[in-house]
A and B are shown apart, each in its own frame.
Chain A
Amino acid sequence: MGLFDIFGQIYLFFSKRRQALFVISALVILLSLFYLTKIRFSEDIKSLLPDSREDFLLEFNLLQQTPFMHKVIINLRERSGADKEGLTDAADDLAKAISASQYFTSVTSGPVSDQNFDIYTFIVKSIPNLITRNDLEEIRGWLTPGHVHEKLLERYTGLFSPEGSMMIDDIRLDPLDIKTLVLKKLSSLNIIPEGAIKKNHFIDQSGRNLLLIADTCVDVTDTLNAERMLAELEEIKKKALPENLEMLILSPQSYTVTNTRAIKKDLVVVLSISSLSMIILFFLFLKNWRAIFILLISFSSFTIALGGVSVIYSTISAITIGFGSVLLGLSDDLSLHVYFALRRDGGRYDAGHIMSEVSRPVLYGGLIIICSLSLLLLSELPGQRQLGLFSIIGVITSLVFTLVLLPQMMRATSSSKEIKSDNIILVKGKTSRPILYISLWIIMIIACFWSGKGITFDGDLNNLNYRSDELKYIEGYIKRTWGDFNSRAMIFSEGDDLESALMVNESLYNYIKDDSGKETIISIAPVLPSIETQRSNIDTWKSFWSENKNIVTRIFENEGSSIGFTPDAFDPFIKSLDESPDFITPDTLNRAGISALIDSLIIPYKEKIRILTLAPDNERIRALLKASDCPGGVRFVSQGYIGEMIRKTVGHDFVHFIAGALIVILVLLIPLFRDFKKVMLSMVPVVTGVVFMFGIMGLFDIAFNIFNVISSILLIGLGIDYGIFMVCRCSEDYEHDTDTAVLLSGLTTVTGFGALIFASHPALYSIGITVLLGIGAAIPSAIYVIPALYHYFDKGGKKVVSL
């Protein structure tokens, strides 16, 4: 008895226990349906990140924990431009309404300063704390009669202006305009480069846009509350917003909600289209009610796979479920071959004999798919591993049902009348024009090989996020209006307490400040140095003025008097040089009206303090932060960096998957055929599919990402199946309507994948389009090229030996 006769024996065993088999199968399916009710969906982006590297996950967690993840940006736009005055009033009303919502903790519309301590007071009072040794050297250059005269004359001229009387205090306290040096330092807090502060609100240059920043308590991964929060904002908009104003909302939660909605919609569309097309295809090709068995096996494989995954994973990625359409198309490939064999030959041979014969290619095909998919379990990306497990369970179920359950169902419902009425579309015949097929195939392979050279890998997670047209518009509008404050790299300075964190933060700022190019670094270091640094600055300031106070007093007396200032005009300045200012603390900055920003940049985390710096996300900064002289306690996170890491992982996985899949195939094919030519011929659909997929992707600049890399494995697993069946069909006295089975299984797979191109979510779409290309080329190559090549080898060489 050969190895594959065991399936004949299994058939005979269950033919006497058919009812029990049906009951057990039904129970298994019902059990999986029960588990389906417990499934919890997840859109957690973490599943797309390599989990083998702790540092990488830590960086991603840092990114998730930044206060920016809880900021909702609201842009109010005055449509007509006629009522700009009303913009601030409407913004205040709106801010009040939003603050009252349970989903928001506060709303910032502009600097909120203490009545008696505004940003000006902060600047003037903080001069000794913030002026550095370098600044003092610049001031030293100002202490000449000529420079002082010029400065005082400028101040005197200003007094003629209507606002002149407002300048008096400033002239008395800071006649040299030393505060301009502190003002430059404040620019390091300008997170909204294109904005300005008007009427104490963030308003753009045109005066038509106003920015509100709302703090929400909703986590970015909390889809349900994110939906509710955005719905509440819509309600507030309807109630509180005048008709001439438009409200644009952008927040990390907007992306969560948009993605969830898109995936849910896609699941319905994709699964409906793939199911419907399978039913239509079966109706067209099979014209037999028993085709429902194949559909039953496909849908059971899907539910059992989902149930199985839900036993192991607490949540299931929506992408995995979307992949169900593919599984529907995959799982019928095996059952179709058995179905055709039993239906066509059922009259001539007994089912046990047929099963012994057909089980070999079916089992090999199934094993190859399973082994190829097993490679996904080695992936560093949890999302890929879950998809792999889902597909493996699905294919194993399909294989078991195909080899054990299907023959019993077919036999239990067979009748001689039905067998004769079968309508097979493709009939095995002699291969015509083999040279033409081979030539066309070679030309296509060469052309695709050439255009596929430039294939790229994309690690940018943003490209796998669904962004609706509305969201893209809002993104673009806010970027144009307020500047690009969303795409900066984040650098965290960590310390056991605020003082040590501030010290790390200072070191970091001094380390990178000269290398940021034209882009500003957003850092609190210049305006909130550590107490130690402030103390040092104050000492240096006092020491400087103890040397120069008498000189400057004399110059002021002479030059001031010559212009017309009273003798005591600059007394407040001279007196201030001896004063000891208070240290600047976060509270000082809060009172000065920049609490929202300070709260965002100083982040308490567990027992520690992290201070956030926003820097340009470029190669130069990345290289600096990787260098050995980079200050300790600093951690760098950026979307670009994460993208780069994922890109490398995708590239690494891709090479491993392809190489692994090819090795698996060879290991399984060699014992199957024990003939080099047959092994090579079986590879034709795989090679054709992969090269065609590369060629078209290269031609249209479609990049590989973490999802469509999986497609290449599926393509190899599926393509080799077609190859095995067609080589068996060509080389042996083996007729089970293989052409039709290959064509139909290929078509159902294509519709399974093809349905994904109707998905709006980029991840699902990218899987669909790539495998569609591959399978689309693999099927014709299996049906036309393998017989043509076989014909050529068979005729030109020695007779191929069948096993």
Chain B
Amino acid sequence: MHNTATIGEDRRAGGESQRPGGESRGKGESRRLDIEAIRKDFPILETTVYGYPLVYLDNAATTQKPLAVLNAMDEYYRTINSNVHRGVHYLSQRATDAVEAARVTLADFINARHAYEVIFTRGTTESINLVAACFGKKFLQEGDSILVSGMEHHSNIVPWQMICEEKKATLKVIPIDENGELILDGLDEVLRGGVKLVAFNYVSNALGTINPAREIIAAAHRHGIPVLLDAAQAIQHMAVDVQDLDVDFLAFSSHKLYGPTGIGILYGKEEWLNQLPPYQGGGEMIKTVTFARTTYNDLPFKFEAGTPDMAGMIGLGAAVRYVQELGLDNIQHAEHELMGYALDVLREIKGFRLIGNVDAGHRAGVISFLVGNIHPFDMGEILDQQGIAVRTGHHCAQPIMDRYCIPGTVRASLAVYNTPAEMDRLAAGIRKAVTLLG
């Protein structure tokens, strides 16, 4: 469905000296990743917690960072740190080249038509807020509506609620079924009723459901409605191609993609970004300023007010190159296998209740569950005592928890460096918690 493999191949043709995962691969073939070699790229995975080797299964909250990222950021500060885009001097030009190269890397990664359609933000949340504020300001009127799904993160609910309240518009919701899938019957009818934009997540952070993005985008476009896709939980697990999806806006964070915190991406189609008013005012986003009038800069700078997070941009670029070297198809394959294995061992636990889709093929990254009547918070604490990091609670998606009438779940979330042995540790840890708490 995508062509990031092609990008990977081009890069190989260019001759890479460092290859993460340590293994060579044949041209164009899918490759079995050497997970043990990959683990060596992540120094933090050697951590010991209360005497146990760390099992890090909170990857949907944030992933760990490979040496390639740490080194790129360290090198930036050591060798070329300087403010970008304005300086005439050598360092400033080097820094500008480096951050703009990162933008090109990101554009390649999601197959954007133009690098200037890639806006650096602080993360998914800011990307969504930017579109909500700017799109809302220009296009939303009293009586209009914004359509989101019933499985959104609060970040893809609250910004829309805020702009809807301001514009006296309404927020509509695509319902979800017991299996954690969106109910799309009747979507066309809803879309006919004054919807100005559709916003939903590609993969649910609370359930792991992979939503039929292409189908929903096509349906919205039949009514001339643009779509924002929250790819925060998809971008690290599967190839995302904005042209193939024909999506209008795409948001994701660096820190869930093995990159540094505090930086993220908003992709927008040129024609949409050009129609939106600027988000924040300040340096970089202007062309000329007088007290009478300011003219705004072109894309992407129009949306990048102030000195950007240069080290973050470079770190994210390095993270994306790392992921491309592994190959997202290879990552997806490895994680899919691991997900299947995890579900198999977890299902053997008495009282284990998976929340969401039972089909491993319809989910990515996240295993949300309860065991018997054990409170997720208790389970999380007993797992922590065994060196196993999971998340507990409502995962900033309270409406989903209400949908299932549960206070929250335990969430184990996977990354490329997780192993079947760690899934065994998780299962054993849960069993121990059951003997204590059950």
Q: Do A and B bind each other?
A: no
Where the two chains meet, the residues of B that have a C-beta atom closer than 8 Å to any C-beta of A are none
Where the two chains meet, the residues of A that have a C-beta atom closer than 8 Å to any C-beta of B are none
